[in-house]
């Protein structure tokens, strides 16, 4: 157990997910500073936690995590801790009984429409948008061309509407545009879910990657520990938990969506054609993950997980996705203003920043935060190589 006095000259990092691990690693290795990581869960790696089951399959406990980035900085940083395979994510959606490429692209046109109609729509899209560009569905819905309006209405109803209601509990129009833009209509034939320069899965898994990040004499990890129950003194505090909980919900609770996972094992090599299949209009679950695809695991059995979206309820489930809209951002900003009044306290990560971060964006945020603090805090080791 860490005594309170030990925290006096330590950096405290609350949360051992990717954001917390990057902060701890940089403080320990680049600035030779002591760090205590405090984690509620009984394991490191946060929602990226994965493990090998009895079948030798690498299981992502909290749903699929696919690494992708265009950032050379992020790629070079993570490459210190793990090699990555060349996995490129492809997703199918079940639409009227047909398996269709997602994001919806030119190949999707020919999967759901007659060849004649698909060709007409493809030509029309190319007359209005650049090849290999991405168009948010709500933007496409505003188009005045009757054929494109027909297409937008079809995609909206078959791909976005019911899925969004299941995933977020609200209509697409009620979500921040940045969220809806994550799955655009793709003007081209590329079936990959992401087009980033770097893509892949850590060859030994995310847990091992993060373990290497935080294995350092300057870093102490406390699992099964709630920060609010120990209140260590600190030199700096980096908090990746929910900002509203930190302030005891003084202005009200920020809403989140949660997830429920149902695991199933089958005595066959594969359950579906790709790692993820979205159920946009049918079934109560939103998607099915099949984990063997990520690291090309070999087994006569396969493991899938059915993912259900539900409202976050404290004490019942976990926070996963902040519901970003104007009203909730105003509430978040009230907490942020209070946070700014506390010296040497920073919030980050999906819960701390109340933002929907991909892995690479969370890393960029953590690196940028350390650089920002370094500029304003002369107590950092002068030998820093940042």
Q: What is the pLDDT of residues 24-80, one digit of tens each?
A: 999 999 999 999 999 999 999 999 999 999 999 999 999 999 999 999 999 999 999
Q: Are residues 151 and 24 in the same domain?
A: no
- In the prediction, which pLDDT does 381 show? 59
Q: Are residues 106 and 126 in the same domain?
A: yes
Whether 385 maps to a domain, the answer reads no
As a whole number of angstroms, the distance between CA 131 and CA 106 comes to 10
Q: Are residues 14 and 63 in the same domain?
A: yes
Q: Are residues 80 and 8 in the same domain?
A: yes
- In the prediction, which pLDDT does 8 show? 62
- Using CB atoms within 10 Å of the CB of residue 18, give its burial: 0 to 12 exposed, 13 to 18 middle, 19+ buried: buried
Q: What integer is the mean pLDDT of 299-321?
A: 97
What are the pLDDT digits (tens) for 209-263? 999 999 999 999 999 999 999 878 899 999 999 999 999 999 999 999 999 999 9
Please state the domain count of the chain: 3
Q: What integer is the mean pLDDT of 365-382?
A: 86
What are the pLDDT digits (tens) for 99-109? 999 999 999 99
- In the prediction, which pLDDT does 88 show? 98
Give the CB-side neighbour count of residue 189, counting CA atoms within 13 A: 4
Whether 282 maps to a domain, the answer reads yes
- In the prediction, which pLDDT does 385 show? 43
Distance of alpha carbon 189 from its chain centroid, rounded?
A: 25
Q: What integer is the mean pLDDT of 302-309?
A: 98
Q: Are residues 12 and 44 in the same domain?
A: yes
197 DSSP 8-state letter: S
Whether 381 maps to a domain, the answer reads no
Spell out where 275-371 has E strands.
276-279, 287-290, 302-311, 321-322, 345-347
- pLDDT more than 90, % of the chain: 89
For residue 5, is pLDDT > 60? no
Q: Are residues 107 and 83 in the same domain?
A: no
pTM listed for this prediction: 0.94
Q: Are residues 109 and 181 in the same domain?
A: yes
Q: Are residues 17 and 166 in the same domain?
A: no
Q: Are residues 28 and 44 in the same domain?
A: yes
- In the prediction, which pLDDT does 3 show? 40
31: domain CATH number is: 3.40.50.720
What are the pLDDT digits (tens) for 114-146? 999 999 999 999 999 999 999 999 899 999 999
- Which of 140-144, 163-167, 295-299 tops mean pLDDT? 295-299
Domain that holds residue 280: 256-311
For residue 1, is pLDDT > 60? no
Q: Are residues 24 and 154 in the same domain?
A: no
Residue 384 pLDDT grade (very low, low, confident, very high; cuts 50, 70, 90): very low
Spell out where 217-351 has E strands.
219-222, 236-239, 256-266, 276-279, 287-290, 302-311, 321-322, 345-347
Q: Are residues 82 and 116 in the same domain?
A: no
């Amino acid at each position: 157990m860490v005594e309170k006095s030990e925290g006096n000259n330590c950096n405290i990092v609350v949360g051992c997910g990717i954001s917390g691990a990057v902060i701890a690693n940089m403080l320990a290795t680049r600035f030779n500073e002591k760090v205590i990581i405090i984690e509620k869960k009984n394991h490191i790696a946060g929602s990226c936690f994965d493990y090998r089951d009895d079948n030798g399959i690498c299981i992502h406990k909290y749903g699929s995590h696919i690494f992708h980035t265009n950032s050379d900085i992020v790629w070079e940083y993570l490459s210190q801790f793990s090699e990555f395979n060349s996995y490129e994510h492809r997703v199918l959606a079940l639409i009227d009984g047909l398996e269709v490429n997602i994001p919806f692209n030119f190949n999707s046109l020919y999967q759901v429409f007659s060849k004649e109609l698909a060709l007409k729509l493809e030509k029309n899209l190319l007359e209005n948008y650049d090849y290999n560009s991405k168009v948010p569905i709500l933007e496409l819905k505003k188009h005045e061309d009757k054929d494109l309006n027909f297409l937008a209405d079809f995609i909206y109803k078959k791909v976005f509407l019911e899925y969004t209601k299941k995933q977020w509990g609200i209509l697409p129009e009620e979500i921040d545009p940045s969220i809806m833009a994550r799955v655009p209509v793709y003007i081209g034939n590329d079936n990959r879910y992401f087009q980033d320069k770097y893509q892949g899965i850590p060859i030994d898994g995310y847990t091992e990657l993060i373990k290497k990040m935080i294995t350092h004499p300057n870093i102490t990890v406390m699992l099964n520990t709630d920060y609010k129950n120990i209140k260590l003194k600190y030199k700096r505090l980096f908090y990746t938990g929910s900002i509203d909980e930190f302030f005891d919900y003084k202005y009200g609770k920020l809403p989140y969506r949660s997830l429920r996972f149902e695991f199933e094992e089958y005595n066959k090599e594969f359950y579906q054609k790709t790692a993820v299949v979205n159920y946009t209009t049918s079934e109560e679950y939103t998607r099915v993950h099949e984990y063997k695809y990520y690291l090309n695991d070999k087994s006569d059995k396969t493991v899938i997980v059915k993912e259900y979206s539900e409202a976050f309820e404290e004490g019942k489930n976990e926070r996963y996705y902040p519901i970003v809209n104007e009203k909730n951002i105003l509430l978040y900003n009230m907490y942020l203003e209070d946070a700014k009044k506390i010296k040497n306290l920073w919030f980050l990560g999906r819960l701390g920043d109340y933002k929907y971060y991909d892995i690479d964006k969370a890393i960029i945020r953590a690196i940028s935060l350390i650089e920002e603090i370094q500029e304003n805090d002369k107590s950092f080791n002068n030998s820093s190589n940042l």
